[in-house]
Chain A
Amino acid sequence: AQKVTQAQTEISVVEKEDVTLDCVYETRDTTYYLFWYKQPPSGELVFLIRRNSFDEQNEISGRYSWNFQKSTSSFNFTITASQVVDSAVYFCALSEPQTGANNLFFGTGTRLTVIP
């Protein structure tokens, strides 16, 4: 069965510090997709990145970077030089297309607070 674990419930950092959010997943499928979403206080989930299981290249987008390691079933998210606007709940999610489904299985989220 699929499972996404975000062990860090809450993290607080001071502005300009780097922070890494951890995500560990479980799946029996060989083909799957991993996602990160940001949920600000407004409640709307904002898509950040999608990664498929065949692409282990790390990705960088501005201050955001993602480290995908199949060997450890992890898909970690790093924010460099954090800003107050980064304060939000961040969710990691998994999708298993081999089942014919494209629904998302979410972790329980990590609440990030950036202190000015």
Chain B
Amino acid sequence: DAGVTQSPTHLIKTRGQQVTLRCSPKSGHDTVSWYQQALGQGPQFIFQYYEEEERQRGNFPDRFSGHQFPNYSSELNVNALLLGDSALYLCASIPGRGRYEQYFGPGTRLTVT
């Protein structure tokens, strides 16, 4: 049983650019959450997708958007990148919307220069 996968592993972008990160949840999991983890900090909740819709959102600007596909995989898009967007972006796979076990992927390390 494959775990949560994320791509790419590392990414370097320039200020003002746009980036797309991808996540494939565990088999049978239909809910995906995204978290941002700045260096030396705990992960912060960005948003959650279920049934191809954004269901919950943390305190992040509209530059952060996402999408969920019919196969439950998800994308995180960040527009107009800022230096402060440099972080590890973690995807969490959840068995169902009302469930509380969250299984994390290895993350995508984004560096904005």
Contacts and interface: CB of A to CB of B under 8 A. Distances in A.
A95 B104 contact: no
Contact of B105 (A44, A93, A95, A97): A44
Nearest to B33: A103
Given A44-B107, A45-B90, A106 B101 contact: no
Interface in A4-27: 4
A95 B106 contact: no
Contact of B106 (A43, A102, A103, A109): A43
B81 interface: no
Given A44-B106, A91-B42, A108-B41, A103 B97 contact: no
A97 B100 contact: yes
Interface in B11-58: 33, 35, 40-45, 48, 56, 58
Contacts of A64: none
Contacts of B101: 47, 50
A104 to B, nearest CB: 6
Interface string A73-99: 000000000000000000101010100
Contact of A44 (B45, B58, B99, B104): B104
B91 to A, nearest CB: 10
Nearest to B107: A43
A77 to B, nearest CB: 15
Given A43-B106, A104-B102, A109 B42 contact: yes
Nearest to B94: A102
B84 interface: no
B78 interface: no
Interface of B: 33, 35, 40-45, 48, 56, 58, 88, 90, 92, 94, 97-107, 109
